[in-house]
Amino acid sequence: MLGHNRKMSGAECMADMLQGYGVTHVFHVPAVLRKTYAVMESRTTIKRLHVHSEATAAYMADGYARASGKPGICMAQVIGALNLAAGLRDAWLAHSPVIAMTGGRDAKTKFRKVYQEIDDMPAFEPVTKFNATVDDVSRFPDMVRQAFRTAVSGTPGPVHLQFRGNEGQVDAEEAELEPLVEAQFSRVPSFRPEPDAASVDAALKCLQGASRPVIVAGGGVRASGAAAELVALAEALQIPVATSLNGKDSIPGNHSLAVGVVGSYSRESANRVVNGADLVCFIGSETGGMTTHFWAVPKIGTPAIQIDINAEALGRNYPLQAAVNGDAKVTLARMLARADRTSAGRRAAWVAEVQDICQKWRAANKAVLESDAVPIRPERICGDLSRHLPDDAIVVVDTGHAGMWMGGMYDLTSPRQSYMRSAGHLGWAFPAGLGAKCAMPQRPVVTFTGDAGLWYHIGDIETAVRWKINAVTVVNNNGSGNQSKRGFDRVYGGKQTEQAHELWTFNKMNFARLAEDMGAIGIRVEKPGDFAGALASALKAERPVLIDVVTDIDALAPLAVS
Ligand SMILES: Cc1ncc(C[n+]2csc(CCOP(=O)(O)OP(=O)(O)O)c2C)c(N)n1
């Protein structure tokens, strides 16, 4: 209740507020808000994870946020601030509610060449929704509340607070403070804005009148927790559903109306279906370059409708026949309540055609998804993950080839499974998987990464061991970043020189052995038939596990069709 101030330090206020918002972990490289960390020990149950780089701290906070819907907290002192800002880029691109806190400049010493100091604030501008300084201890309560409010409201996203002092020493000062928290803003979504009825009816009229419609479900569906409503509406009106990479867990891959991930890191069947549609309904999607294969799938001019919590997103890339501004879950529930189910029959031929396209994709890829080739094909790993992951697994996937393989080849098999992917940063997935496991310790977390991706933050195997973060990490170990191969083939005129390989290959490495040396369990898999067993024992282990799968350096993921 406002108006109940009492004398306390900024540190005590911060600790009480973080606890009050339900924060269970903070990820940091020391030393920042030192006093806060000290008082957290006696005043809270928050775990203070000291990790190996500020980017790791940001990615763990991001994984924590995407897995739980609660803001993930990461921190750095002034010299590490730009590393932390760099780590927020993926959270920004993925609309993940991460709150970053750093130490910053003191008015008394600005511009005097203080050790390690520059003006960090501009670096946070492009990767945050709210980027502010806290220069006076009296501002702790309102600024922390504003940080939480902004991170989880509307389209969620990162925020940054910079605290006075290179280590944020303002936290040691005292004032009359009230550590009030607003439960409403402790997780995504903070509010569920209702759409207006006329726009719902206009959208429904378009969908019901279409003979070949498709839904493209984006990350807004997952942020809203709207998967059940999405599937119910698709079933009621018989509309196939494609997803963005960020919305992949909106519908299980084995659902009869699921066509797969559309766009650049996609499944061929999804692109074919979306390009064959007479109406595309984007829900919680940015309609960005990755989801639309740079606006070729669907082509600009294809009739479209769009539903988004953020009115500014409506019509950004596709002229719309109907636009609905509202939370995805309540909007889809309203649509379902008002839907004319009798119109579904109009789409029977289209649904049959779509199912045939999907079936043909499965038939064409059965051999690689079950391949016994040695070295192992990455598609076989994806196939085995589809077949063997538990119903409540959280799957975390890196970018580049990892994003292509898993986006296109892996199927979720239960509505209880979650899927989170790097929005572009190589190396994101391994720490993000650890963060996800911190947030959801009772659920199995399985990360899929390439070896180039793992190298970035390999030191944090030690973090996982020290903090008993029992996530499973699967490394597609081809001794290279072979997604780059095609591009170098091209610039070498079709055939690379022997020396050109130095541009994208690494030394061969046994990651299982490295993991064992750091105290984790390492399992080396060289034969495809051994993968499922390795996964089963990894999921039972009570330690972090790294499954090092030796794969084919010549395996290249299929390119998107348009
Ligand atoms: C921060 C960052 N730097 C560079 C890239 C460009 N990039 C995308 S994939 C890739 C190589 C991926 O290698 P690996 O993770 O081993 O997977 P593989 O291609 O071998 O399957 C690179 C360098 C990126 N996405 N992010």
Contact present, 215 and 350 (Cβ < 8 Å): no
The response to whether residue 422 sits with its C-beta less than 6 Å from ligand 1 reads: no
Q: Tell me the CA distances in angstroms from 96 to 175, 368, 397, one per residue in order.
A: 33, 34, 15
For the stretch 84-128, pLDDT in tens is 999 999 999 999 999 999 999 999 999 999 999 999 999 999 999
The three-point CA angle 288-480-83 to 5° equals 60
pLDDT band of residue 189 (cuts 50, 70, 90) is very high
Question: Whole-angstrom Cα distance, residue 544 to residue 523?
Answer: 11
How far, in Å, from the CA of 483 to the mean position of ligand 1?
A: 7
Residue 192, pLDDT above cutoff 70: yes
Instruction: Give CA 335 to chain center in angstroms.
Output: 27
pLDDT band of residue 2 (cuts 50, 70, 90) is low
Using most ligand atoms within 8 A of CB, pick from 377, 426, 482, 507 the residue to mutate for ligand 1. Answer: 426
Question: Whole-angstrom Cα distance, residue 429 to residue 402?
Answer: 10
Instruction: Give CA 41 to chain center in angstroms.
Output: 30
**Residue 64 structure tokens:** 């924590």
For the stretch 4-54, pLDDT in tens is 789 999 999 999 999 999 999 999 999 999 999 999 999 999 999 999 999
Question: Whole-angstrom Cα distance, residue 549 to residue 522?
Answer: 11
Residue 426 CA: nearest ligand 1 atom is 26
- Alpha helices by DSSP H, listed for 262-347, are 268-275, 328-338
- Kind and range of the H or E run holding 437: helix 429-439
Residue 414, pLDDT above cutoff 90: yes
Q: In what order do the strands lie in the sheet with 472-477?
A: 418-421, 394-397, 445-450, 472-477, 545-550, 521-525
Instruction: Give CA 73 to chain center in angstroms.
Output: 15
For the stretch 433-468, pLDDT in tens is 999 999 999 999 999 999 999 999 999 999 999 999
How far, in Å, from the CA of 455 to the mean position of ligand 1?
A: 11
Tell me what pLDDT residue 1 has.
Answer: 54
Residue 3, pLDDT above cutoff 80: no
**Residue 20 structure tokens:** 């009050």
Nearest residue to 346 via CA among 242, 210, 232, 231: 210
pLDDT band of residue 247 (cuts 50, 70, 90) is very high
The response to whether residue 452 sits with its C-beta less than 6 Å from ligand 1 reads: yes
125 C-beta neighbours (distance < 10 Å), count:
10
Question: Whole-angstrom Cα distance, residue 309 to residue 472?
Answer: 34
